[in-house]
Structures are given as C-alpha cells and as structure tokens.
C-alpha cells in the first residue's frame, strides 16, 4: 500500500496562476494578429503581456464568494427599507431629484461599461487583462442592477423614476453621460481602458460615489447608501486595474507615452463635464449637505489627482491639459448648470426650485468669491419673477456642445461674466462647443463626432417635427407631474401627506 503523501498547499500566487494565466493557449490554425486585430489598432506597443500584474490576484471562485456575500447583505437591507416605509424617512422629497438624475444618467452608464469591458476582454491578447476585464464587466452589470433595484421602491410612490431607460437616450441632460460612454465604447480597447478604467474609475469616481453616498446617508436614504458602499468595494479594485493598465502601457514602450498623454487629456475633460451633473446634485439638491462640490474637488480632485500625476511624472506624463481650467470652473459649474436646469425644467424628468434664503447663505459660505457676486443676484431676480406670477422659463432651445453635449452655459476661463463659445467648420458644416478642450477633442477626431446624436436637433426631425407635446410623450414625461417646479408638485404633496399620516399614527 502506498504511503499517502500530503499535497503541498498552493500559494496564493500559484493558485492565481493556475486559474488565470495557465488557462491560456497558443492558437494553432489562426494567427494571433487575426484573433486580436485591435491589439495593434491604436498604435500601442506591447512586448510582454506577462508583465501585466493584478495586485488583488483575484480568482473566479473567490470573486463569486465575495460578491454573493455582498448580495445577501444588500437585498436584506433594501427589503427592510421597503417594508418599513423607508421612503418617508428621507429629509425631504426634493432629495429625490438627485436620485432621478443618478438613475437616468449614471446607472445606464454602468450598464454601458459592462458591455465595454466584456468587449475589451475579448480584444486583449493577454490573459491577465482578459480575466480582469471579465470580472469588471460582471461588476458593472451588478452595479446597474443593484442601483435600479435600490431605487425601485421610490417608483411605487413618486414620479420620474418609471422611464429612465427611454429617457437615457432621449432627454438632453442624460445625453451627456450617454455620449461619454458611447464615445468610450466606440474607441479601441486601450483607449477604452484609459477612458473608463483610468480617467473615470481612478481620477473621478471618488467625486461621484464618496460625497454623494455620504449625502444619501445624511438625508436618511439607507437604500442608496447600501448600493453605494456595496459598489465602492468594487471601485477600489477598478481603480487599481485602471492604474495598472496605464503603468503597463507606459512601461512597455516609450512610444506609448504621447498616445497615453493624448488620451488622458481627452478623457479627463470628458469625465469632468459629466461630473457637472454631480456638482449640481451635491450643491443644490441635497436638503442636508455633507460638503460642497468645491470641498469634494479639493480632496478627491486636487489632492488625490495631484498626487497621482506627480507619481506618473517619472514616466513622462503631465497633468491633463484641462486641469487648471477645471480647478477654476469648480467655483462656477454647479451654479451655472442649476440655472440651466431651472430655466429648462419643462424638459426634465425631475423637479427644480429656487434656493431658499438658508440655501443661499450656505452657498455664500462655501463659494465666498463667486456666489454672492455672480449667482445670488440671478436667483433673487428669478425669485422676484416667481413671486410676481411670471416664473422664469426659457422656451428657446439650448445650443449644445458637439462633443460633451451639454448646453453652452459655461463661462470663459478667467471671465465669469462672458459665456464661452467656440465653433469650427468641417466639410461645410459649422459645429458648436462649450470650451476650447471640447473643440480640441472634436478637431482630433472630427469624423467620429459629426455622427453624434444631439437631442435638440432631434426635436425637429420625424416623427416629432417640433411638436413639444409629441416630444413629451416620446420621452415619457407627464407635464406638471414629472417635471417643472417642486413647489406644489406631486412629489412634495404626496410626501408631506404620507409623512403626516405616519407621524399621526
């Protein structure tokens, strides 16, 4: 009888290798160039795919174990939230406008990122990035699902949550996030990783998740807090993947540096424009605020981002071209965008309102150099118009930036009293832009951006032909219920009535 031999337990590194790198094979009847045509499409040179490192060394069996545990906890909490009328424990129904923007613009972006990472995993020849992209693709679709499930309880009681999937493709402010992800998904795999894995996940994601989820906690929304922190543990891994990807490209060949720098310049600015939505949510839509957009930018933008680019300087990478302009714009963007949302609130699937005196005092303290000088006078004038029975609405159509698709409501760098407007001609057509950086992005790839679908021109095409009522139906908006002023809205009156009933009982 043979003596039993105790098998040596595999180390974490060996187990990771067996369950990832050793699953690869060499093609026999097709060349690698034919199997992975996009590996060289963008000009990125890779000499050794084995140099790709996953600091987490996560294997699929461990991945399913961790995610299953998070799922159990998540659904237990949101079930308890629903059963205990958690929707009545939020500070005020104004808060729901922030959730509606998140659901209409950000959650579909998670789903788009899922498709993008699934595609990128197929297009990379190396097994390391293939496995990492596969896991992140599953993460992203899980994030979209958990966000939709967490907010579905609000859909039972309040307006504006019911048609987010249609509205993502049809309403003017949601096209900002949609165009960002469409742009990334139509790029090559390496640029996609810079767009989503690095610029969005590493540089900008903390500006989205940390302050906003803290704001949800401050405002009593434990359902949103739960999906936020469930996703944030994944985001830490995504940030590491994004940083590993950019370092891998920079270390493989010096010729990659100018290509990567160009992508960083582009995708930082594109991501920064998307975060204009988040800045408004933080400064104006949270009844109880955690911090201002400026304070969040100082921590997660300037401090963390600055340290990152100092680290990348040894590879020859400098901060993005729009870094300085972004730092200046932070003091203005939330105010400028909220003014835009207010004047076009007939075309939004959420409510807007005039800031109260208390709100304006808070904004004055947080933006001492800009709010009282440039924005308080506008709000006070709008308030007088509203009190006189002539609320301020702009029924003219906004001029949209061809690149980021935001209305051109932002001001010149160094001159907050002048609107920034750029234009260029291409093949006999004139295209409009909100900034120098968006214009530069267009000029780099004009054939790509002339194909952009813009919601304002769509209003004058078949089948709408300029009919506002037909447009309302097309975007699933019920006029007066889903949009317009918060005061006297269905959300406000229903919330106050139900909370009063609960309190009296």
- DSSP state string for 137-152: HHHHHHHHHHHHHHHH
What is the distance between the alpha carbons of residues 296 and 279, in angstroms, rounded to a whole number? 9
Instruction: For residues 119 and 311, give the distance between their C-alpha atoms in angstroms, rounded to a whole number.
Output: 30
Token pair for residue 41?
């499409």
CATH class belonging to 49-62+69-353+392-503: mainly alpha
Q: Helix axis angle, 127-155 relative to 60-83, nearest 10°?
A: 10
pLDDT for the residue 386: 94
Q: What is the pLDDT of residue 419?
A: 95
Q: Which letter does DSSP use for residue 40 in this model?
A: T
β pairing state of 422-426 and 429-433: antiparallel
CA dist., res. 198 & res. 185, Å (int): 14
Is 110 within 8 Å of 116 (Cβ atoms)?
no
- The reported pLDDT for the residue numbered 103 is 93
Handedness of CA 338, 343, 344, 350 (dihedral sign): positive
C-beta separation of 134 from 59 below 8 A: no
- pLDDT value of residue 3: 67
Look up residue 53 and give its DSSP letter: -
302-360 confidence digits (pLDDT tens) = 888 888 899 999 999 999 999 999 999 999 999 999 999 999 998 899 999 999 999 99
pLDDT for position 407: 93
Q: What is the pLDDT of residue 503?
A: 72
pLDDT, position 203:
72
Q: How far apart are CA 345 and CA 322, in angstroms?
A: 30
| Tokens 């929304």 belong to residue | 221
Specify burial of residue 155 (Cβ count, 10 A radius: 0-12, 13-18, 19+): middle
Q: 71-90 burial by CB neighbour count: b if 16+ within 10 A, else e? A: eeebeebbeebbeeebbbeb
Query: Where are the strands (E) in 67-126, listed by range?
Result: none
Distance CA 136, CA 238 (A): 7
Cα–Cα distance list, 143 to 71, 95, 138, 213, 293 (Å): 11, 21, 9, 14, 24
Q: Which residues of the chain have pLDDT under 50?
A: none
pLDDT at residue number 293: 95
DSSP H or E run through 19: helix 12-19
Token pair listed for 179: 């165009």
112 token code pair? 């788009």
Query: Which whole-number Å values give the CA distances from 64 to 113, 147, 321, 383, 484, in the listed order?
Result: 20, 19, 40, 54, 44
Q: Which two tokens stand for residue 191?
A: 């640029």
Residue 504: what pLDDT?
Answer: 67
Q: Rounded to an integer, what distance in angstroms lies between the CA atom of residue 302 and that of residue 298?
A: 5
């Amino acid at each position: 009888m043979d003596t039993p031999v105790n098998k040596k337990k595999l180390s974490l590194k060996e187990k990771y290798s067996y369950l990832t790198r050793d699953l690869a094979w060499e093609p026999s009847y097709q060349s690698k160039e034919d199997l992975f045509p996009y590996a060289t499409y963008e000009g990125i040179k890779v000499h050794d795919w084995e140099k790709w490192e996953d600091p987490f060394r996560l294997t699929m069996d461990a991945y399913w174990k961790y995610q299953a545990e998070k799922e159990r906890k998540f659904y237990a909490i949101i079930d308890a939230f629903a059963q205990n009328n958690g929707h009545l424990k939020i500070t005020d129904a104004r808060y729901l406008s922030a959730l509606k923007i998140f659901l209409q613009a950000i959650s579909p972006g998670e789903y788009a990122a899922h498709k993008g990472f699934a595609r990128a995993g197929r297009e990379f020849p190396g097994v390391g990035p293939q496995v990492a992209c596969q896991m992140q693709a599953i993460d992203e679709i899980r994030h979209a699902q958990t966000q939709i499930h967490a907010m579905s309880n609000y859909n039972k009681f309040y307006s504006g949550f019911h048609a987010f999937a249609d509205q993502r493709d049809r309403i003017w402010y949601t096209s900002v996030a949609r165009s960002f992800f469409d742009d990334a998904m139509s790029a090559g795999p390496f640029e996609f990783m810079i767009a989503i894995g690095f610029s969005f996940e590493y540089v900008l994601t903390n500006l989205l998740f940390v302050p906003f989820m803290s704001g949800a906690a401050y405002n009593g929304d434990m359902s949103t807090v739960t999906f936020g922190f469930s996703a944030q543990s994944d985001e830490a891994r995504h940030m590491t993947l994004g940083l590993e990807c950019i370092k891998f490209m920079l270390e493989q060949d010096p010729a990659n540096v100018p290509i990567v720098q160009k992508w960083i310049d582009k995708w930082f600015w594109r991501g920064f424009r998307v975060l204009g939505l988040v800045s408004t949510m933080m400064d104006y839509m949270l009844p109880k605020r955690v911090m201002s957009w400026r304070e969040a930018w100082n921590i997660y933008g300037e401090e963390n981002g600055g340290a990152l680019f100092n680290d990348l300087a040894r590879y020859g990478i400098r901060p993005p071209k729009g870094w300085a302009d972004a730092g200046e714009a932070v003091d203005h963007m939330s105010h400028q965008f909220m003014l835009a949302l207010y004047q076009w609130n007939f075309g939004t699937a959420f409510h807007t309102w005039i800031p109260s005196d208390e709100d304006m005092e808070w904004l004055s303290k947080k933006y001492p150099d800009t709010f009282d000088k440039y924005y308080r006078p506008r709000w006070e004038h709008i308030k007088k118009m509203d009190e006189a029975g002539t609320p301020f609405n702009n029924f003219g159509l906004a001029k949209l930036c061809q690149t980021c698709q935001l209305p051109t409501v932002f001001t010149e760098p160094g001159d907050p009293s002048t609107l920034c407007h750029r234009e260029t001609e291409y093949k006999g057509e004139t295209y409009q832009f909100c900034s120098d950086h968006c214009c530069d992005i267009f000029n780099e790839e004009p054939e790509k951006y002339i194909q952009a679908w813009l919601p304002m021109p769509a209003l004058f095409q078949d089948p709408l032909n300029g009919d506002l009522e037909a447009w309302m139906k097309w975007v699933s908006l019920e006029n007066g219920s889903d949009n317009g002023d918060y005061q006297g809205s269905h959300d406000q009156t229903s919330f106050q009535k139900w909370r009063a009933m609960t309190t009296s009982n």
